[in-house]
């Protein structure tokens, strides 16, 4: 015959023990496991040694994706970095490099144009940028209505019929890739040319690049050149301190790249 | 074929000036309306907390202003939604926040929290004014010659009564308890209504100025400060108007039936009510001001001390570009000076009113310095953006997100209050109800 | 507590029911948390297909080769082999149905994208032969002297 006190004590011990062990068991959803390791996960490789700053990628992207050429927003752009021997860095991206870089004068916006004398230049290079289609995208997390989302293959898209245009995703992106579409009046950004890659094609920017500085591929396919580059070469990513896990990988990054 | 293409001005371009290295898509996207929104919700929350100080904690000295603060809070409520509707690129899709809320986003809280808060305030007003509504139905129902306004008011009161016509002592006691409950429940909801606005900014890890866990708390404290200050100054002004009318034998902003049998209230009585309420409320203003300024200074010190990667760019914004706005307008004029005025011995109503105006200005500058300040530097930390508020609109966008839109938001609550006051007289003494 | 105190609550409940009924009609039925979960995958599923069906504009050089194999071969055997046809000739769209002819961009601005001489040590840009656009035959089209399909300086 158990006394009431003992019964209560035993019950408390059993419940406490069970809750500790049960909390260690993760309730697994098969669909989520599959989503975590699908056969297809789009990723991108940028080689900053090969980029010459011609800007054909920017123009092709705008024409392919109906972003007006006369609007100062762009789904992708190229930045120029000029690093001087004294350590100073001068950077620009005139119209996102829509017309390429055709002058030595660096565009400093309100502060005018700067010419860096040749003998002061230590190194100079171009860095193309686009949406990183992050694994844990901060922009998707902050959308209040579920208009922007991550598809199962990793591509982050915006539902144009549902976006309310609050701009929270634009503020939430650490990489500055988002903007308001000037005609559609909703949030917009690079889609990895989802309409092309999902139908066996190449993204417009990678196709337009004459020098092979841009490549799109499937990170889950071991024979894919992009997946192989990740395995065999020293690649970096932009601003990983935000924890968004970007999926655009760079060869030839420099500590000065913003 | 690179012909001279005409420029298409994108959203944000009209009022942003970029300097040095700024990313192509960066503009000041969250401009004046996003400054107005936390400002207006702050006023709502603050006015409500002031009213609750009387209804929940029984601070008898705030009796006269409590009812006014409650009605003002309700008049401010629809206006809190205005800046958002003016800002959204797709305002007609605004209900999506209620239809498919994505609760991982702080903004999604808007739909639920706002509606909950609106229901609480509406219900509390109903209980506070129920006796008056029932009495008005009887009074207007029996009146043979109704004025134009009264013809409209009678059916309104009948609907508002919800059929609850019992004004016996027990029924009024129930009303009293319900008011206390709702006012108490409303305080955390009001805190949430404004805390979530602070969370909207504080949780954006991409923005070096906004990212801090202190943001929700700073926002709540400055919200209460602004709400109390608004109540002080608007009450002062309305009472000045009533005194001016009383001197001329008129009774303004209060239905004749309530003016204690006479058509005019003696100026002296108005003056003493005004003086008493304003002084009492000022004490509470001081308490919350202390809290608000402590947190803001703490945040600033931490940033300077830890000096993380963004500090060089932030320092340029805080100490150079925005020095006037932060240290002169917000801290000196908007905080230190009113603090001094309120602490000086022999506080007069006029001085308290001046201090309140300065406080309101200071809280507005705080919202500006957070929202605009957070966009004053580029994500590259190597460039800056300047925001120029559009004064003269040249299209619908520069009106909505310009001075015109801001003024509309400021003026709207007082227009609403004017009409709301006809249904729920804000200046009647609380004795009438209990 | 008298019964009338519950009346405002009934009003609120009626409002909430009204909103929920409206929601059932307004929100598309395929809206929900998809494979990526609630945080990152909350959306209207049919939007994915809508994006996949977005009209493409560029075709790629293989497509041009189907009819213009002579030009493609000419370009492929010279210095500009790596440049896709559509970079200078514009996107194919529905060519040859619509448009019938593709415009040719002969402007200087196109050529100096690569050939404006810039000082870019450690970048492949430095290896591209270039000129100073302000000094070199300013105002003239580059193609007046240089053949874009075969830009050899000897064969000018």
Question: The CATH number of the domain where B165 resides is what?
Answer: 1.20.1630.10
Of C8, C23, C42, nearest to B126 by CB-CB distance is C8
**By percentage, how much of chain B surpasses pLDDT 70?**
94
Domain for residue A55, yes or no? yes
Q: How far apart are CA A46 and CA C108, in angstroms?
A: 28
Q: How many domains does chain A have?
A: 2
Beta pairing class for A89-92 and A77-84: antiparallel
Closest approach of chain C CAs to the CA of A234, in angstroms? Answer: 17
* Closest residue of chain A to C82, computed from CA coordinates: A210
- A46 and A74 both lie in a single domain: yes
Domain for residue A256, yes or no? no
- A226 and A181 both lie in a single domain: no
pLDDT of residue A31: 52
Of C4, C8, C103, nearest to B1 by CB-CB distance is C103
User: For B68-114, what is each residue's pLDDT tens digit?
Assistant: 888 988 999 899 899 999 999 999 999 999 999 999 999 998 888 99
Give the CATH number for residue A93. Answer: 3.30.70.20
Closest approach of chain C CAs to the CA of B101, in angstroms? Answer: 10
pLDDT of residue B280: 78
CB interface of B with C, residues 156-215, below 8 Å: 162-164, 166, 170-171, 174-175, 177-178
Q: What number of C-beta contacts closer than 8 Å exist between A and B?
A: 157
- A218 and A238 both lie in a single domain: yes
Least confident of A153-167, B308-322, B386-400, B416-430: B416-430
Structural domain span for residue B27? 13-432
Q: Which parts of chain C register pLDDT below 50? A: none
Q: What angle do CA A137, A140, A141 make, to 5 degrees?
A: 90
Domain for residue A20, yes or no? no
Using the Cβ of C39 and the Cβ atoms of chain B, whether some distance falls under 8 Å is answered with yes
- A96 and A169 both lie in a single domain: no
Show residues of chain C in contact with B183, CB under 8 Å. none
The string of DSSP codes covering chain A is: ---HHHHHHHHHHHHHHHHHHHHHS----HHHHHHHS-S--EEEEEETTT-----HHHHHHHHHTT--TTBS--SSEEEEEEEETTS-EEEE-GGGGTT----SEEE-BTT-EEE--GGGEEEEEEEEE-----SS-HHHHT-SSS-EEE-TTS-EEE-TTT-----HHHHH-TT---EE-TTT-SEE---TTHHHHTTT---HHHHH-TT--EEEEETT-TTSHHHHHHHHS--B-S-GGG-----EEEES--TT--
Domain for residue B99, yes or no? yes
Interface test with C, best of A28, A100, A209, A244 (most C CBs within 10 A): A100
| CA distances to A137, A192, A217 from C35, in Å | 15, 19, 21
Higher pLDDT, B223 or C32: C32
- A90 and A123 both lie in a single domain: yes
pLDDT of residue B238: 83
User: For B309-367, what is each residue's pLDDT tens digit?
Assistant: 999 999 999 999 999 999 999 999 999 999 999 999 888 888 888 999 999 999 999 99
Are C51 and A157 within 8 A, CB to CB?
Answer: yes
Q: How many domains does chain B have?
A: 1
Domain for residue B63, yes or no? yes
Domain for residue B359, yes or no? yes
- Hey, where are the domains in chain C? 61-144
- A128 and A222 both lie in a single domain: yes
Closest approach of chain A CAs to the CA of C97, in angstroms? Answer: 18
Q: How far apart are CA B76 and CA B58, in angstroms?
A: 24
Domain for residue B139, yes or no? yes
Closest approach of chain B CAs to the CA of C4, in angstroms? Answer: 6
- A160 and A243 both lie in a single domain: no
Residue B346: helix, strand or coil by DSSP? coil
Structural domain span for residue A237? 42-134+189-251
Which stretch, A182-186, B227-231, B394-398, C150-154, has highest mean pLDDT? Answer: A182-186
* Closest residue of chain B to A80, computed from CA coordinates: B21
Using the Cβ of A111 and the Cβ atoms of chain B, whether some distance falls under 8 Å is answered with yes
Domain for residue B164, yes or no? yes
| CA distances to A23, A106, A122, B424 from B219, in Å | 36, 41, 47, 30
Of A74, A99, A165, nearest to B25 by CB-CB distance is A74
- A201 and A246 both lie in a single domain: yes
Domain for residue A110, yes or no? yes
Confidence check: pLDDT of B371 > 90? yes
Domain for residue A163, yes or no? yes
């Amino acid at each position: 015959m158990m006394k009431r006190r003992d019964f209560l004590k035993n019950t408390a011990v059993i419940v406490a023990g069970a809750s500790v062990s049960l909390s260690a068991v993760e309730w697994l959803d098969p669909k989520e496991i599959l989503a975590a390791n699908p056969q297809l996960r789009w990723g991108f490789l940028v080689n900053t040694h090969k980029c010459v700053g011609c800007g054909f990628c920017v123009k092709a992207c705008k024409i392919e994706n109906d972003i007006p050429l006369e609007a100062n927003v762009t789904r992708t752009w190229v930045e120029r970095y000029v690093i001087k021997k004294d350590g100073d860095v001068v950077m620009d991206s005139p119209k996102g490099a829509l017309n390429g870089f055709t002058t030595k004068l660096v565009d400093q916006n309100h502060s005018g144009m700067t010419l860096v004398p040749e003998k002061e230049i230590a190194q100079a290079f171009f860095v193309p940028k686009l949406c990183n289609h992050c694994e844990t995208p901060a922009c998707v997390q902050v959308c209040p209505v579920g208009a922007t989302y991550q598809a199962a293959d990793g591509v982050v898209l915006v539902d144009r019929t549902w976006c309310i245009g609050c701009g929270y995703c634009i503020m939430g992106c650490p990489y500055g890739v988002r903007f308001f579409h000037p005609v559609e009046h909703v949030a917009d950004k690079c889609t990895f040319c989802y309409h092309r890659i999902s139908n066996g094609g190449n993204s417009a920017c990678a196709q337009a690049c004459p020098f092979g500085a841009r490549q799109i591929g499937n990170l889950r396919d071991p024979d894919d050149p992009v997946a192989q580059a990740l395995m065999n070469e020293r690649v970096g990513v932009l601003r990983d301190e935000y924890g968004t896990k970007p999926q655009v990988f760079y060869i030839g990054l420099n500590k000065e790249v913003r | 074929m690179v012909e001279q293409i005409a420029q298409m001005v994108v959203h944000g371009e009209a009022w942003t000036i970029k300097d040095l290295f700024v990313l192509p898509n960066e503009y000041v996207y969250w401009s004046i309306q996003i400054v107005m929104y936390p400002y207006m919700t702050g006023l709502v929350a603050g006015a409500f907390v002031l009213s609750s100080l009387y209804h929940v904690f029984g601070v008898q000295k705030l009796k006269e202003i409590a009812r006014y603060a409650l009605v003002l809070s309700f008049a401010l409520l629809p206006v809190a939604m205005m800046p958002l509707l003016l800002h959204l690129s797709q305002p007609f899709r605004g209900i999506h926040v209620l239809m498919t809320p994505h609760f991982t986003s702080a903004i999604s809280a808007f739909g639920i929290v706002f509606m909950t808060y609106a229901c609480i305030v509406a219900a509390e007003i109903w209980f506070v004014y129920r006796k008056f509504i029932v009495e008005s139905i009887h009074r207007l129902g029996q009146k043979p010659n109704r004025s134009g306004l009264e013809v409209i008011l009678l059916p309104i009161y009948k609907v508002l009564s919800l059929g609850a016509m019992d004004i016996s002592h027990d029924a009024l006691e129930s009303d009293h308890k319900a008011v206390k409950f709702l006012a108490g429940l409303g305080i955390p909801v009001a805190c949430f209504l404004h805390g979530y606005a602070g969370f909207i900014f504080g949780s954006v890890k991409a923005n070096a100025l906004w990212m801090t866990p202190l943001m929700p708390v700073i926002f709540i404290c400055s919200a209460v400060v602004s709400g109390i200050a608004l109540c002080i100054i608007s009450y002062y002004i309305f009472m000045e108007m009533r005194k001016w009318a009383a001197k001329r034998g008129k009774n303004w902003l209060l239905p004749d039936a309530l003016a204690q049998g006479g058509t005019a209230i003696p100026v002296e009585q108005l003056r003493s009510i005004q003086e008493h309420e304003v002084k009492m409320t000022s004490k509470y203003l001081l308490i919350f001001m202390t809290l608000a300024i402590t947190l803001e200074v703490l945040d600033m010190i931490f940033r300077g001390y830890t000096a993380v990667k963004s500090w060089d760019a932030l320092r340029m914004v805080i100490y150079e570009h925005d020095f006037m706005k932060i240290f002169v307008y917000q801290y000196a004029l908007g905080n230190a000076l009113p603090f001094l005025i309120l602490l000086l011995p022999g506080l007069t109503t006029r001085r308290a009113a001046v201090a309140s105006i300065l406080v309101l200005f200071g809280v507005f500058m705080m919202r500006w310095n957070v929202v605009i300040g957070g966009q004053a530097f580029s994500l590259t930390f190597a460039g800056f953006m300047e925001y120029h508020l559009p004064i003269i609109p040249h299209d619908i966008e520069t009106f909505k997100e310009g001075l015109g839109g801001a003024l509309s938001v400021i003026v709207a609550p007082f227009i609403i209050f004017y009409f709301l006051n006809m249904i729920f007289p804000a200046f009647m003494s609380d004795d009438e109800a209990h | 507590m008298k019964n009338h105190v519950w009346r405002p609550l009934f009003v609120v409940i009626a409002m909430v029911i009204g909103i929920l009924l409206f929601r059932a009609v307004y929100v598309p039925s395929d809206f929900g948390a998809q494979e990526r979960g609630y945080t990152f995958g909350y959306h209207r599923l049919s939007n994915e297909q809508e994006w996949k069906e977005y009209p493409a504009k560029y075709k790629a050089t293989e497509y041009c080769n189907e009819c213009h194999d002579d030009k493609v071969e000419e370009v492929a055997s010279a210095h500009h082999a790596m440049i896709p046809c559509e970079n200078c000739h514009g996107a194919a769209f529905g060519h040859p149905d619509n448009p019938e002819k593709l415009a040719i961009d002969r402007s200087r601005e196109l050529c100096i994208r690569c050939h404006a001489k810039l000082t870019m040590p450690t970048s492949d840009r430095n290896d591209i032969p270039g000129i100073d656009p302000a000094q070199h035959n300013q105002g003239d089209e580059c193609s007046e002297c240089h053949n874009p399909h075969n830009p050899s300086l000897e064969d000018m």
